[in-house]
Structure formats: C-alpha cells, structure tokens
Amino acid sequence: MKSKDKALYLAILFFTAIVWMITAISGGGAGEFFLEITADGKSIKSVELSGIEPGASITLHEGGGMNELLISGNAVRMISSDCPGGDCLKMAPLVSERGAIVCLPHRLVIKLRRKDEDRNSGGIDAISY
C-alpha cells in the first residue's frame, strides 16, 4: 500500500470518527430549564430561568386569586397565596423537572421543564405516588 493511500485511509477513518462522535453527542447534553405555568390546563406563562435575575418574583392572578413565585438560582418556590388551606405554600421548591407546585383552588400547576425533554432520554417518564 502506498504511503499516500495510507494517509487517505487514516484521514477517512478520522473524519468518520469525528462525524460519529458529533452525531452521538448532539442532543445528549443537559437542556436548560424553563418554568412552565399552566392555569386550568392552559399554558399561561413560560419563562427561561437563565434570563431571570436571582430573587425575582412572579405574581399570578388566576382562578380568582393571587399566587407569588420566588425564583432563586435554579430553585422556584411559592412564597405567597391567598388560596384556602395554603397547601401550595408547603410544597417543596422545584429544582428539577420532577415534581410540581400545585394550587388546586386556583387550578395552577407550576413545573420546571427541560428544553429537550421531548427527546425521551433514558430517564424516568413518570412517578407513581
């Protein structure tokens, strides 16, 4: 085999390996979170957390009442609500796409989602509780 043929073989193999790695890696990275707020089943607000200043709050007027969310870093929690019972205020802060803050009286569901969550990675699809 000529030395130029060898060099061409190696170049083709190297190029193929690079393409393969790009294909394998693309879409495999962790997506950024965004905050999705639904009221009565309809999405009313979608906020990218990366664009929010830490300590910012979001006030919602839905379902005949008021709720206020606090965003601190990558965590979101309910800090104020005039709903009866105030169960939403006792819910754990959201830090991942798992779990939700729910205000049943105001029919609000607040969740964190990844931009690429529909890609269906090898994670958990749902949690039984």
The residues binding another protein (CB under 8 A) are 1-2, 4-5, 8-9, 12, 16, 19, 23, 38, 40-41, 84-85, 87, 91-92, 96, 98-100, 102, 104, 107, 109, 111, 118, 120, 122-129
- The gap from C-alpha 94 to its chain's centroid, in whole angstroms, comes to 10
Nearer Cβ to another protein, position 58 or 95?
95
Q: How far is the CB of 36 from another protein (least distance, A)?
A: 9
| Residue 85 to residues 14, 103, 111, Cα–Cα distance (Å) | 63, 10, 21
Nearer Cβ to another protein, position 53 or 125?
125
The torsion angles phi and psi of 19, rounded to 5 degrees, stand at -60, -40
Nearer Cβ to another protein, position 29 or 122?
122
Q: How far is the CB of 31 from another protein (least distance, A)?
A: 16
Q: Are strands 65-72 and 56-62 parallel, antiparallel or unpaired?
A: antiparallel
Instruction: Give me the count of residues in the chain.
Output: 129
Nearer Cβ to another protein, position 17 or 56?
17
- The gap from C-alpha 73 to its chain's centroid, in whole angstroms, comes to 13
